[in-house]
Structure 1
Amino acid sequence: MVRTVRLGFTGDVMLGRKVDERQRERPPPAVWGTMRDRLAAADGLFVNLECCLSTRGQRWTRTNRPFHFRADPSWATTALTDVGVSYATLANNHVLDFEEVALEDTLDALSDAGIAYAGAGRTAEEAWRPARVTVDGLEVAVVAFTDNTPEYAATEDSPGTAHVDIDPTDDDCVERVRSAIDAAGDPDLLVASLHWGPNMTESPPERFRAFARFLVDEGVDFLHGHSAHVFHGIEVYDGAPILYDTGDFVDDYAVDRRLRNDRGFLFEATVTTDGVVRELHLVPTVIRDCAVHAATADEAAWNREAMRERSTDFDTRFEAADGGLRVPVAADGSD
């Protein structure tokens, strides 16, 4: 019997720096603010973990790195498991902020907590290995990679990220990514999680759009993008939702008053157990006091309007839904 499951996807979850300091004064679940129950209610939860989980290591100084993010795993893993995080992307520009020992601690902390990960590892082979998660009978595989911070790239014998220069016209890029997709096998749902592009942008460049469509053509069912700190528009291509950038979810960052990097969404996908994405539900959020909260009515209205405007190029169909937005995907043709 075909059933549906609800998968939650978030933007950057940065638990370091002031968030880490604030958490010393409050219980681990407090970082989820008024969104805690909503997050915990999802059948599966997929995040980009924008920090390392460790109390060890020295700040990376081999190249210029202005920001270094690290959270104490004694509370951070409790917070992640409290809301049922199923998977964490590590292909980003902060997992080596406190050098290799802190990355290795992160891998151990996630493994001990039963949280799958991809996009970083002790070697390049491990960093590029897809993650596999079973959510209420739905087999999900995730391939993860980044074009950020090439000095953090894993090698044959050193820890780091799954790094690639993203270019759909470059044979090396195409073959590297195609190999990762092939390694994922034939799951019910194949997710690509990409940490790509510069900060503080409102839309993807054309080569990212072409690359996203290439991924779908290669078999990706859902694209989970992040890096810009600002959510981008959504495209539905051949039945696959493309979330070019999911923005920020938890952090301590300075707020740009025009781009509003403190505002975003929890992206909930309704998926059948045979891998059909039926719809997306966008739940408006806001970051306050180093925690994520449900947006107020005025904040939610801004989020909805910004998402509609940023999706204009993609002709995406939005419907109002419980203070947020609904995107009918209906890849099975039922809608």
Structure 2
Amino acid sequence: MSLRIGFTGDVMLGRLVDDRQRGRAVDAVWGDTLERLRGLDGLVLNLECALSTRGRKWTRTRRPFHFRADPDWAVPALERAGVDACALANNHVLDYEEAALRDTLAALDEAGIARAGAGETIDEALEPATFAADGDGANEGIDVAMVSLTDNTPEYAADEESPGTARVEFAVDDAETRRRVGVALERARETDPDLLIASLHWGPNMVTEPPESFREFGRWLVENGVDIVHGHSAHVFQGIEIHDGSPILYDAGDFVDDYAVDDDLRNDRSFLFVLAVAPDGRPTELRLYPTEIDGCAVHEAGPDAAGWSRDRMRELSAPLGTAFKRDGEALVLSLDGSESDDEDE
């Protein structure tokens, strides 16, 4: 029996989401996706904000947006959804400077939610997040390790003495990148995981296709032992590529936020990506459940929005050599070598 590990796009719990949550149930931010989230054996997301009420807005360089959420509700919300690991290597974790970053690290640690990609030093930021996907009693669990990296916001990068993010340039031919990413992957492998995740916050906003350099880097990660590449940053989902049986999610889009919606790119629409994993850690299937943001919460997408997202994902993935089956509202991608013909709706 397979275990199911979920992946989401950006989860931004600050600003209007934070304001709205003060007057509604802690788990309201997950809308009607909560039952599906809680039914997973593991859940990984990119946390696109600080968890703190302290700190001051970063003004050392120009930053148009600053995101933080009150941990008094945000941490219980993450717990209610069953979040196992948060990627922190992104362009908002230091929006309220070092005090809020430290609060974020402490809040996640106290809740037992694994985190990677940021820390007191670059050494800590490169440490993997680890968790056990325990299954339901019928399945034996698996051990999961995740590294988290970003190419965003150089001023937020950690170094040997200062807190911040695990920042690299995503270029295979960059020697320093290969060294730093190699360190992160080696540390993850030392935990002897059954499943190894690379969660990458890469590239600019509102871009619908990955550059060739990202495709090269994603394939290089797979060739170096990564089982799934979990990309995010663009605020819109991008296509999926399969390399050596491992999925490369170039961008998972947005899952929860309060952002203005582009009527053409529809940054309010994406998916919950659910990876089926065999007991030996081998990915066997990827299911995409359409989602839509409304009222500062995520919801299962209605018929029109779901149809738009399925069509768009097929369109973006076809040039990457990827085709999907359809099962109910979900798109399904086989990773075990079985046929995966696209089907009409």
**TM-score, normalised on structure 1?**
0.98
Aligned mates of 1:44, 1:313 — CA distance in 2: 30
* Aligned position for 1:327: 333
Q: How many residues align?
A: 332
Alignment of 1:216 onto 2:222: yes
* Aligned position for 2:163: 159
RMSD: 1.1
- Structure 2 residue matching 1:145: 3-state secondary structure: strand
Deviation sequence 1:130-162 (CA, Å, 0-9, x none):
111111121111011000001000111211000
User: Which 4+ stretches in 1 moved above 6 angstroms?
Assistant: none
* Aligned position for 1:277: 283
Gaps of 5+ in 2: 135-140, 341-345
* Aligned position for 2:17: 19
- Structure 1 residue matching 2:148: 3-state secondary structure: strand
* Aligned position for 1:98: 96
What does 1:192-271 correspond to in 2, within 5 Å? 192-271=198-277
**TM-score, normalised on structure 2?**
0.95
Gaps of 5+ in 1: none
What is the CA distance between 1:334 and its match in structure 2? 10
Contact in 1 for aligned 2:317/2:323 (Cα 8 Å): no
What is the CA distance between 1:275 and its match in structure 2? 0.7
Aligned mates of 2:159, 2:235 — CA distance in 1: 28
Contact in 1 for aligned 2:13/2:48 (Cα 8 Å): yes
Alignment partner of 1:302 out of 295, 305, 308: 308
Aligned mates of 2:180, 2:121 — CA distance in 1: 15
Alignment partner of 1:120 out of 118, 121, 124: 118
Contact in 2 for aligned 1:317/1:328 (Cα 8 Å): no
What is the CA distance between 1:261 and its match in structure 2? 0.1
Aligned mates of 1:102, 1:45 — CA distance in 2: 24
Alignment of 1:135 onto 2:133: yes
* Aligned position for 1:44: 42
- Structure 2 residue matching 1:39: 3-state secondary structure: helix
Contact in 1 for aligned 2:12/2:67 (Cα 8 Å): yes
What is the CA distance between 1:312 and its match in structure 2? 1.5
Q: Residue type matched to 2:3 in 1?
A: V
* Aligned position for 1:173: 177
Aligned mates of 1:179, 1:154 — CA distance in 2: 15
Q: Residue type matched to 1:301 in 2?
A: G
Deviation sequence 1:51-103 (CA, Å, 0-9, x none):
00000000000000000000000000000000110000000000000000000
Alignment partner of 2:26 out of 3, 25, 28: 28
Higher mean alpha-carbon deviation, 317-326 vs 295-304, is at 317-326
What is the CA distance between 1:200 and its match in structure 2? 0.2
Q: Residue type matched to 1:33 in 2?
A: G
Higher mean alpha-carbon deviation, 267-276 vs 55-64, is at 267-276
Q: Residue type matched to 2:130 in 1?
A: R
- Structure 2 residue matching 1:209: 3-state secondary structure: helix
| Structure 1 residues 302 and 183: CA distance shift in structure 2, 3 A | same
* Aligned position for 1:145: 149
Deviation sequence 1:235-288 (CA, Å, 0-9, x none):
111010000000000000000000000000000001012111010010000000
Aligned mates of 1:40, 1:291 — CA distance in 2: 16
Aligned mates of 2:328, 2:284 — CA distance in 1: 18
Higher mean alpha-carbon deviation, 102-111 vs 169-178, is at 169-178
- Structure 2 residue matching 1:184: 3-state secondary structure: helix
Alignment of 1:68 onto 2:66: yes
